[in-house]
Structure 1
């Protein structure tokens, strides 16, 4: 895992160096760049390397393969050994043991379809000197970031926005993206916080013609949201197939020339990954969890129980609130765009301390989306029948609740939900901002292209909300959080449950294999319980967060009141400063818990303070 950079813009050598240095934390082991002459001008490729496979300098990047193929690559190709064997049979030879060369050979053999042959997390760009094109691709589920700037014959790309922003005087802040952020807690692809910088979407490749500046993208993979593939076997068959797939997914992610560990929260997903890693490892597996002083946030005891059963080399990281607060006060230094998932804080703490022991960590991300594990899927089950009542009746009830003299958060939200047309609209509202009274301009989500995964009739409502989460929450939020949090400390994170083969199998399974009454992630648990006793998991599902609601009223109170003073609130676009000021005061008095809104605006305020000087908002 690394940081990549490239440009057709004639920056000086010193400027290119500074663009790489600004994200050196992504790859501290080696920094390099190359300039390739082209009849239209030079092409510069740069790379910050975090050495994982083939630690020899021969695998440093930018890399040239077969004279005319040049590459910069971020990520890991887990099937590179078998793919390499196939390519060797076709006549290709290799001078390293890295996966980077394999991508180049696959490109020469399969052309633009080479991404289909890769099982991994990746973002890479190839300069094909023979064809005068740049070809790049991003992994199926968007685990690795890829930003680009395109202005005619000026093309620039990087793993993080900061590299593109440096020395670029043609940028403006996007008002639409701020509205999207305030709605979704992150900025949906393909947009970024800047109008002129875009994200390459998940499961897409692109070509950029260096002769005529033609830029094209193509989607090479998607989830089966129209239900074209239906699993035909029994539940027992599916359980055996899933365990075999997951075993292989874990096994190929343990391949590294550096120490590997496992994040272990004590929940179903991470415990399953730890169990399978233990099964595939001759040595004691190192596992890592976070401990919080606030009992309602602390799951370290459950992680310890699993670790004891699996006999792992377990490490408990004590979350010192001063360390957590330090990260909060400098949050936007780690995230190039406004990003409001507060679980990024414990994720960074976990990565920071895990890095002291290992360079690679396996995680349980992806299990909830594919196997229907979130609490909100139970919420859908409990509330979907409400929307069978006529909307005029629900609106009357909603108005009655709205005019109740004393309302708590739950009643206020219920009155809004009852007025919606269907359960699909209610689900979108639950995933965004239920109370929009503090927004100056409400953002209309109906035009979002990802709505096609939710608003159709080819699957039941549970499968559709799961698909919607895979295409939105997972890729916009979870993967962004994990990449930035881990790479901030030069730690590579690998997610076996995001192996596309596992996702495709989960997509094909009947709903009751995954979700029964009071039994979410049913089939994942079936696999897990053959390795860890069921009794260990007889408890409610917990999230992964920090006690911001408490910190905002105590340790961080002065900081919040200073940053979100009325004068400062008036400078923040797209919000109603009077309403937000009321929310902050209510939270400080303890009458309402508004920590989520406060955190969201605090992050935006912090980002604007450090990045908006001299830039217009359009």
Structure 2
């Protein structure tokens, strides 16, 4: 887990050092630049595999130079394959294996890698840069391309530093809907994201950049699993066991994020079968409605792990809120980033690698919203005129939830309902209120070859998991030089889940059915007889109480007028609705607080002097 940087622009050494140092928190163990006629490569290393200095980067292998962020979990297997083909190795690192695989297989080498990665290889013979981002987008890759100039980095502010870039107004509007900036856009007009599952080639001589998709979900369901539920469970258990096993390979201390939910408990259970002593970490909220730490403790006690609980208090939360833009380079409004930061900060005191349960909800139909959409879907069999009449009646109620239901059933189809409830049902405060319907992946929701639940799952894998969850975890963990690994995001597990019959995942209202059946072989089912809870902050209450003055000061009419893309008058009404208890508007308020903080911190004129030291 590291930070990478590279550029064909001939910056001075002081500028290059500043750009590299801006992401030094991603890799505090070693930092270096390597320069040649065509390109400068930079790397901040967090040493996980082969701690020896021989594996420092930029790494040279024959006529190749590489900078690499992430882990290739199957590198030992691939290394043995390449040795049989005559390749020799001087380190025990996965970085060297990537280089040899590129020499042997060319651009198709990415098909061989099982891992999370973002890398760039410079081939001095061909004078080209080749790179890729992992299938599901665990690791970030930002770049800027203009003419013959090409610059890339793990963090967008590295590229923007000392450049007169412009804030992308369209990106801001998309952020106000989704809570993040969807790929391939970034918050800066001149900087883009390499999409998940893509590789690229840049010709240093001609300046031509080509990108190519090398992996995607199977939307056809042509390879649907034909075996029994028990057969599927056996095969999935084998895949999960191996996914956990290969992610426990590290030359540094390793632990597990344990929320007490299905996914993280399953990872902890499988890991406990492979190692005598396992460390687990969870977070505790003072507000009892948000606190699930007791469930994590129950699971940890049953599995016999060395368990640690960190308390997320108002004071610790406020400190992270006020410094949020220091950790996230782009506006990012998932409030669970705050406890994720706190958990990572504490966990780093004990381990350098942590396994997580990310990916289980998306891959195995686990979110509560899936059940809700499935339950209301029969209503959309009624003619639109009838539903609109029903909505008019429901809207007479002063109840907030009733009004949301009215808005939902009056929409043209259920796919639009899902997109709008995901980005916010009521968007009158945004200048382009229907922008959320323009998501490039929305066509997934209308795929006729799969049913509604499978389409929702595919959509979330391509959007929410990739853009929200992965961004949250990458920035939160790397802010404190901690590596997070997600066995349920092993592409083999994800591909298998997408080919399973829906009833193996969602059956008579029971979600993640097959994962639960595997988990209950290790942990009693009664531990999980409770409603699913999200990893969220108590902002609804805080914004009306402890943080009320903070909100009103930072989102005054004067402050709101400086935020592009919003209807100031309607936004002030929304803030008032929340403060008076009329409606719960904390998601909109949090989006605005994050954006306002980011715009102040990353003002282009002050960008060069902005400190990103954590």
Q: Structure 2 length as normaliser, TM-score?
A: 0.97
Are the counterparts in 2 of residues 343 and 544 from structure 1 also a CA contact under 8 Å?
A: yes
Are the counterparts in 2 of residues 179 and 443 from structure 1 also a CA contact under 8 Å?
A: no
Q: Aligned match of 2:345 in 319, 336, 352? A: 352
Residues 56-205 of structure 1 correspond to what in structure 2 (within 5 A)? 56-66=52-62, 68-169=63-164, 171-205=165-199
Q: Aligned match of 1:542 in 516, 527, 533? A: 533
Distance 1:398 1:249 in 2: 47
Q: CA deviation at 1:162?
A: 1.1
The aligned counterpart of 1:10 is 10
Distance 2:225 2:328 in 1: 40
Distance 1:397 1:232 in 2: 42
The aligned counterpart of 1:49 is 45
The aligned counterpart of 2:455 is 464
The aligned counterpart of 1:608 is 599
1:26 paired with 2:26, answer: yes
Distance 2:437 2:365 in 1: 24
Change (3 A) 1:387 1:615: farther
Distance 2:545 2:354 in 1: 34
Distance 1:326 1:343 in 2: 15
Q: CA deviation at 1:610?
A: 1.3
Distance 1:135 1:440 in 2: 40
Are the counterparts in 2 of residues 180 and 443 from structure 1 also a CA contact under 8 Å?
A: no
Are the counterparts in 1 of residues 133 and 194 from structure 2 also a CA contact under 8 Å?
A: yes
Q: Summarize deviations over 1:348-376 as a string: whole Å, max 9, x none.
A: 01000000000000000000000000001
Are the counterparts in 2 of residues 173 and 615 from structure 1 also a CA contact under 8 Å?
A: no
1:233 paired with 2:227, answer: yes
Aligned residues: 607
Distance 1:445 1:327 in 2: 29
The aligned counterpart of 2:365 is 372
Are the counterparts in 1 of residues 219 and 447 from structure 2 also a CA contact under 8 Å?
A: no
The aligned counterpart of 1:517 is 508
Q: Summarize deviations over 1:386-409 as a string: whole Å, max 9, x none.
A: 10000111122223434x2x5222
Q: Aligned match of 1:299 in 292, 295, 301? A: 292
The aligned counterpart of 1:212 is 206
Q: Secondary structure at the match of 2:310?
A: strand
Distance 1:397 1:230 in 2: 39
Are the counterparts in 1 of residues 72 and 117 from structure 2 also a CA contact under 8 Å?
A: yes
The aligned counterpart of 1:260 is 254
Residues 198-597 of structure 1 correspond to what in structure 2 (within 5 A)? 198-281=192-275, 283-402=276-395, 404=396, 406-597=397-588
Are the counterparts in 2 of residues 258 and 360 from structure 1 also a CA contact under 8 Å?
A: yes
Q: CA deviation at 1:280?
A: 1.1
Q: CA deviation at 1:449?
A: 2.5
Q: Secondary structure at the match of 1:179?
A: helix
Are the counterparts in 1 of residues 416 and 437 from structure 2 also a CA contact under 8 Å?
A: no
Q: CA deviation at 1:443?
A: 4.0
Are the counterparts in 1 of residues 177 and 435 from structure 2 also a CA contact under 8 Å?
A: no
Q: CA deviation at 1:446?
A: 4.1
Unpaired segments ≥5 residues, structure 1: none
Q: CA deviation at 1:148?
A: 0.1
Are the counterparts in 2 of residues 332 and 338 from structure 1 also a CA contact under 8 Å?
A: yes
Q: Secondary structure at the match of 2:47?
A: coil
Q: CA RMSD in A?
A: 1.2
Distance 2:443 2:88 in 1: 44
Q: Structure 1 length as normaliser, TM-score?
A: 0.97
Are the counterparts in 2 of residues 27 and 50 from structure 1 also a CA contact under 8 Å?
A: yes
The aligned counterpart of 2:612 is none
Are the counterparts in 2 of residues 181 and 187 from structure 1 also a CA contact under 8 Å?
A: yes
Q: Secondary structure at the match of 1:318?
A: strand
Q: CA deviation at 1:615?
A: 9.7
Unpaired segments ≥5 residues, structure 2: 608-614
